């Protein structure tokens, strides 16, 4: 299976954020996940997939995202059942990335010995994307890590900040308006939209491969 999307996935989840003039994420060459950066609006997430303009609240995973411009965000509670809905293998297209639309992206999520749900996409050529959902001190977090060839790794710690239905928005708490990840698990589906400084950097429409 070919993975042309790994370059774009690493770019939109790592390099897109690294282009910020004052990034707070820690860049590591050890491959370890560390640091935090990004942020989001704190606006409501959706329970269905669609498109809307910035500042418009429709309850959809949007193609654009507004920012509150306020202070640090507050995390919300997230149940384990929601996280478990992302378990398994996923395959599907990614639209609207900085490098165009991608026909195919493969991602596999499994529980680790540390009781975290880890999603790994790795083409074996130095491009790697990881999403790790873990519960720490009663609070679920999402650690997003992107790696490019040369073991150039950057990681962001996000928290759930809003929920409508099964759609949950994750953001870095202390930088509203920077990095936002909207995730909607469904019955055999996994939809996700990524925003960097309010601009769409990719919409994932995944399903379990047959």
Torsion-angle region of 125 (φ positive above 0: left; ψ -120 to 50: alpha; else: beta): alpha
* Residues 103 and 93 sit within 8 Å (Cβ to Cβ): yes
87 versus 98: which is more confidently predicted? 87
pLDDT of res. 137: 87
Q: Which domain holds residue 82?
A: 5-18+33-52+75-207
pLDDT score for 127:
79
- What is the reported pTM? 0.74
Mean of the per-residue pLDDT values of the chain: 75
How many other CB atoms are there within 10 angstroms of residue 19's CB atom?
A: 11
Average pLDDT rounded to a whole number, residues 192-208: 93
Q: Determine, yes or no, domain membership for 185.
A: yes
By residue count, the chain amounts to: 210
On whether residue 65 sits in a domain, the answer given is no
Which pLDDT score, from 0 to 100, does residue 17 have?
53
Q: Which residue has the higher pLDDT, 26 or 188?
A: 188
Q: Which pLDDT belongs to residue 47?
A: 53
Alpha-carbon distance of 22 to 88, in angstroms, equals 36
- Domain-embedded: residue 160: yes
Structure tokens at 53: 């303009």
In a domain, 195, yes or no: yes
Looking at residue 68, its pLDDT comes to 46
Taking residue 207's Cβ as centre, other Cβ atoms within 10 Å add up to 14
Exposure of 101 in the CB half-sphere (CA atoms within 13 A): 5
Residue 23 lies in a domain: no
Instruction: Evaluate whether residue 28 is within a structural domain.
Output: no
Asked if the model's pLDDT at residue 39 lies above 50, the reply is no
Q: Is 69 within a domain? A: no
Number of domains in the chain: 1
Pairing, β 199-207 against β 189-196: antiparallel
How does residue 70 score in pLDDT terms, banded at 50, 70 and 90? low
| CATH number of the domain bearing residue 160 | 2.40.128
> Does the structure show a pLDDT above 50 at 27?
no
With CA atoms as reference, report the closest residue to 183 among 68, 18, 40.
40
| 70: in domain | no
């Amino acid at each position: 299976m070919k993975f042309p999307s790994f370059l774009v996935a690493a770019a939109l989840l790592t390099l897109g954020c690294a282009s910020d003039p004052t990034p707070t994420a820690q860049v590591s060459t050890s491959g370890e996940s560390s640091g935090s950066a990004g942020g989001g609006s704190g606006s409501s997430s959706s329970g269905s997939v669609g498109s809307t303009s910035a500042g418009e609240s429709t309850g959809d995973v949007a193609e654009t995202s507004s920012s509150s411009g306020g202070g640090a965000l507050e995390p919300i509670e997230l149940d384990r059942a929601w996280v478990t809905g992302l378990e398994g293998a996923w395959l599907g297209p990614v639209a609207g990335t900085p490098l165009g639309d991608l026909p195919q992206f493969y991602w596999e999520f499994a529980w680790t010995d540390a009781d975290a749900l880890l999603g790994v996409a790795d083409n074996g050529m130095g491009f790697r994307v990881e999403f790790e959902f873990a519960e720490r001190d009663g609070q679920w977090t999402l650690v997003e890590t992107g790696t490019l060839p040369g073991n150039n790794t950057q990681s962001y710690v996000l928290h759930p900040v809003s929920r409508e239905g099964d759609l949950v928005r994750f953001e870095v708490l202390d930088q509203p308006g920077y990095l936002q990840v909207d995730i909607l698990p469904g019955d055999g589906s996994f939809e996700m939209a990524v925003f960097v400084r309010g601009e769409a950097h990719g919409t994932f429409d995944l399903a379990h491969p047959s």
